[in-house]
């Protein structure tokens, strides 16, 4: 059963994705033998877990609040389309604390930290058809040197209303995108003069980008050349376009944003919705 079936990343929406939430194979590795025994290759996992819920939570289906510093996950999925000039990314929105991502037995990504999202490029290691993704997580429950957030070194909850959180605790999903694409972007605004600054980090350095701003009544377009893979663009919204449409607690107004990115041959290579 998939309990989190909505699009997982509303500030960077693409048209399609493969949802990996739901049932995964799962194993505690209390003796820390998983790497030695190569669990990322052929281990038979004995438990099931409902991702993206931490094993300590009831919705995970496990609800074990004991300390388990080393844990493993496994999921089988299928890729059946032509991947020529494509890039396949596995996106993890939250994993606590250290993680390793394996695809078909190959280590493709390591990541430290519980709060930030990250992506793993699976493309070079994929099979046409069935693929196996394995995630190893290390969350030392009693290591007070790690910044305290969702992990805690005391067994019972204190100062927080939720149980400790280890491993995958936010959605996991796959995107199949073009080789030339936006890796990520950052938006900042200045209320004075209604100025917007957008920084794009791309996988290529030549083309053009169009920003479409929608205030739910009118639409503005701003187009720029792409001249490097990390570039900042600035533009201002006219006073009559804003017309006091400013976010505030009693009226949390948001502007819709569309980002269309083209390569040097004017081919649309990425299409993103945001706000």
Q: Convert the pLDDT of each residue in 33-75 to its tens digit.
A: 999 999 999 899 999 999 999 999 999 999 999 999 999 999 9
The 10 Å Cβ neighbour count of residue 79 is 19
6 or 89, greater pLDDT: 89
CA 72/CA 131 separation, integer angstroms:
17
CA 98/CA 138 separation, integer angstroms:
5
Q: Are 40 and 132 found together in one domain?
A: yes
Tokens of 195: 């100025």
CB 228 within 8 A of CB 202: no
SS3 90: strand
CA 147/CA 118 separation, integer angstroms:
19
Tokens of 66: 């004991």
Please tell me the total count of domains within the chain: 2
The CATH number for 71's domain is 2.60.120.260
Mean local confidence (pLDDT), 150-173: 77
The CATH number for 269's domain is 2.60.40.10
**Of 157, 178, 199, the domain-final residue:** 178
**Of 126, 150, 178, the domain-final residue:** 178
pTM of the model: 0.92
Contacting residues for 60 by C-beta, under 8 A, at least 6 apart: 49, 50, 53, 54
Q: Are 147 and 251 found together in one domain?
A: no
Domain, as residue range, for 120? 18-178
Asked whether residue 58 is domain-assigned, the answer is yes
| pLDDT reading at 227 higher than 70 | yes
Angle at 127 between CA 46 and CA 33, to 5 degrees: 35
Confidence of residue 150 (pLDDT cuts 50, 70, 90): low
Please count the residues of the chain. Answer: 275
């Amino acid at each position: 059963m998939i309990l989190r079936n909505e699009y997982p990343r509303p500030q960077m929406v693409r048209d399609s994705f493969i949802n990996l939430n739901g049932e995964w194979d799962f194993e505690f590795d209390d003796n820390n033998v998983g790497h030695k025994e190569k669990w990322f290759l052929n281990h038979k996992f004995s438990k099931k877990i409902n991702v993206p819920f931490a094993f300590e939570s009831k919705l995970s289906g496990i609800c074990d609040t004991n300390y388990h510093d080393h844990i493993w996950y496994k999921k089988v999925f299928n890729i059946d389309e032509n991947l020529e000039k494509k890039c396949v990314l596995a996106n993890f929105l939250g994993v606590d604390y250290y993680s390793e991502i394996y695809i078909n037995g190959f280590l493709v990504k390591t990541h430290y930290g519980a709060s930030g999202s990250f992506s793993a490029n699976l493309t070079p290691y994929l099979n046409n058809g069935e693929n196996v993704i394995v995630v190893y997580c290390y969350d030392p429950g009693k290591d007070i040197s790690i910044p305290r957030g969702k992990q805690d070194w005391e067994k019972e909850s204190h100062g927080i209303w939720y149980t400790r959180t280890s491993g995958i605790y936010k959605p996991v999903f796959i995107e199949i995108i073009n080789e030339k694409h936006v890796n990520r972007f950052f938006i900042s605004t200045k209320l004075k003069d209604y100025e917007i600054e957008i920084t794009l980090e791309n996988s290529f350095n030549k083309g053009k980008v169009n920003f479409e701003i929608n205030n739910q009544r009118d639409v503005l377009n701003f187009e720029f050349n792409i001249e490097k893979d990390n570039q900042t663009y600035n533009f201002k919204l006219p006073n009559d376009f804003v017309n006091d449409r400013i976010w505030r607690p009693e009226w949390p107004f948001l502007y819709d944003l569309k980002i269309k990115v083209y390569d040097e041959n004017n081919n649309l290579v990425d299409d993103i919705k945001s706000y």
